[in-house]
Structure 1
């Protein structure tokens, strides 16, 4: 740049290696700019001698000290546990939590996201749901995002993912190793990432044991007890033999066990049932539920630390703990039985 040429936002952007709009967002303090970009922009401003028409303020002065969270079912034990730990950790960090529900519907999830953006939160945590990837990416241009159950990659996004394929594989393999070869699977919500991944694990285990999947043993659920009950009744009434059920989550498993019991079938003597989540109530269920343990108590805390680090430092590094098989009384071996 020539010495007599007055520095502009474009000169700053070029030197900082960012877009002019990023420089404007930084100067206006209206949206989030990562710490690394902030440092480059500040250095470029000093080097070019650029004089903004307004005073630059510290990021903290413009923060609302609130974090938004999109959840699906407020009354779900899974959600309640996550939110409880999330809020406790955020309060210790000086932040308040604003929640909005999506109820697994794309339109409602989008509405919830728009509501949180208008609420001027400093960052948003999206706990599962049905949002489009493009919508999440666009929102991350305005503020940091932490997601659970999405695999979205972006500069201002931290995606916390469990290995649901491995979880579905472990659950199904557990049943196969017990001698079950006719394993029904009640899926989660249609098209939801966790649903698809757990079904992939189910298929992977069957392939490993060189077993074909009977499509009549597959039922589309929605992660609820009511539909878990309904789909199990459908399986029983279809008169198709099955000796085990892999339910997409613990709530579905609860419904399945209730349906089996109502129809005079014993769990696990007649039909073994395995869930996915390890809700706090699962070990007290009758029979105590065999399930895949998600680190539910850790997810909320991890989300809180991740969003806080994102807002303050632009640091998005985080890793979810592994999934564990928890064997209880709802599954048993088919070896040495009459079936």
Structure 2
């Protein structure tokens, strides 16, 4: 007998259209703006692949819709795209589809995204960081299972997954201290994000253990972006406060910091060492290759998907977040000494 042709997936559409799977999902669900140029490519790819989106059942239907909703902040970032990709691979293998809604770090948009997913009659919701009110999350969980990443929420129908960001910040700073650096600057992440404060606490903890007094002039408020990483590094240079290393809140910020140092005539790591946080795919190909704290990004997506499916079917899966790893590359060194 002739085998049935394998049905096209969101991944097939995304690959042909040259966009991320999350962009295809946003196009299909109309949750946020997608550029017209991308819309045209996605529509063409859907026709070419024969992809057929699965639609949700009517509200009030007590059968499973075989869909899972996910709220993310920046769907096009390498960090989020990897998590979404791995979540979707697990869900598709189990016969589920993934609906993605975006919050863009704005509470109003996150609340709207949550309401949209509830109205879409999804079987469960995954929330990847953000600023949603904990009481709102708990109230929502009374009628639908929820998995959160980056929230500390305790409730019967909620699975909270968290990485030890304090330990991550501590290990990153400790690496620089062990290289002989004492004047270590820190560019923080988004001020409203819990991971930001946790990594900063780890930074302070490491300094304290080495009896190094915190110099607040060496701490800058970033937002996890390359642009502010660049700007904060320029401010550090122009402050005339000496530093020989920078611990930045994430890899994207590190890219901006390295560019700023290069533009001002400083070499990494010969003059200033840089350590990031995330270990994005691009970090090992950056020049110099970035030393960073590897978050288990692939595992996060898998654990989220398995956890929400476990909640939907009431299984016995035990969710465990893997530890972070220090990835030492070329951007940190014990060689330093250029004063400014």
TM-score range, shorter chain: 0.7 to 0.9
Q: 3-state SS of the aligned residue for 2:81?
A: helix
Q: State the TM-score, normalizing by the size of structure 2.
A: 0.80
Bigger radius of gyration: 1
In structure 2, how many angstroms separate the alpha carbons of the residues matched to 1:192 and 1:247?
Answer: 15
- The TM-score with structure 1 as length reference comes to 0.80
Q: Which runs of 5+ in 2 are unaligned?
A: 1-60
Q: Which has the higher contact order (CA 8 A, sep 6+)?
A: 1
User: 1:314: Cα distance to partner?
Assistant: 5.6
Alpha-carbon displacement from aligned partner over 1:66-122 (angstroms, at most 9, x marks no partner)? 000001111100001110111011001110000001111111111111111111111
Indicate if the aligned counterparts of 2:271 and 2:338 stay in contact, CA closer than 8 A. Answer: no
Q: What does residue 235 of structure 2 align with?
A: 234
Q: Tell me the distance in 2 between the aligned counterparts of 1:338 and 1:265.
A: 8
**1:293-323 Cα deviation digits (max 9, x unpaired):** 0111111111111100110016573110000
| Counterpart residue number, 1:18 | none
Q: Which residue of 2 aligns with 1:260?
A: 261
Runs of 4 or more consecutive aligned structure 1 residues displaced over 4 Å after TM superposition: none
8 Å Cα contact 1:158-1:316 kept in structure 2: no
CA shift in 2, pair 1:338/1:101, >3 Å: closer
Shift of residue 274 of structure 1? 0.3
**8 Å contact kept, 1:157–1:316:** no
CA deviation after TM superposition for structure 1 residue 191, in Å: 2.7
Stretches of structure 1 lacking an aligned partner (at least 5 in a row): 1-59
Instruction: Tell me the distance in 1 between the aligned counterparts of 2:65 and 2:338.
Output: 65
* Map of 1:282 onto structure 2: 283
Could you say what secondary structure the match of 1:276 adopts? strand
Find the counterpart in structure 2 of residue 312 from structure 1.
313
SS of structure 1 residue aligned to 2:154: coil
Q: What's the RMSD between the two structures over aligned residues?
A: 1.6
**Counterpart position of 1:127:** 128
Contact persistence 1:248–1:275 (CA under 8 A): yes
Q: Secondary structure at the match of 1:332?
A: coil
Separation (CA, whole Å) in 2 of partners of 1:166 and 1:96 = 35
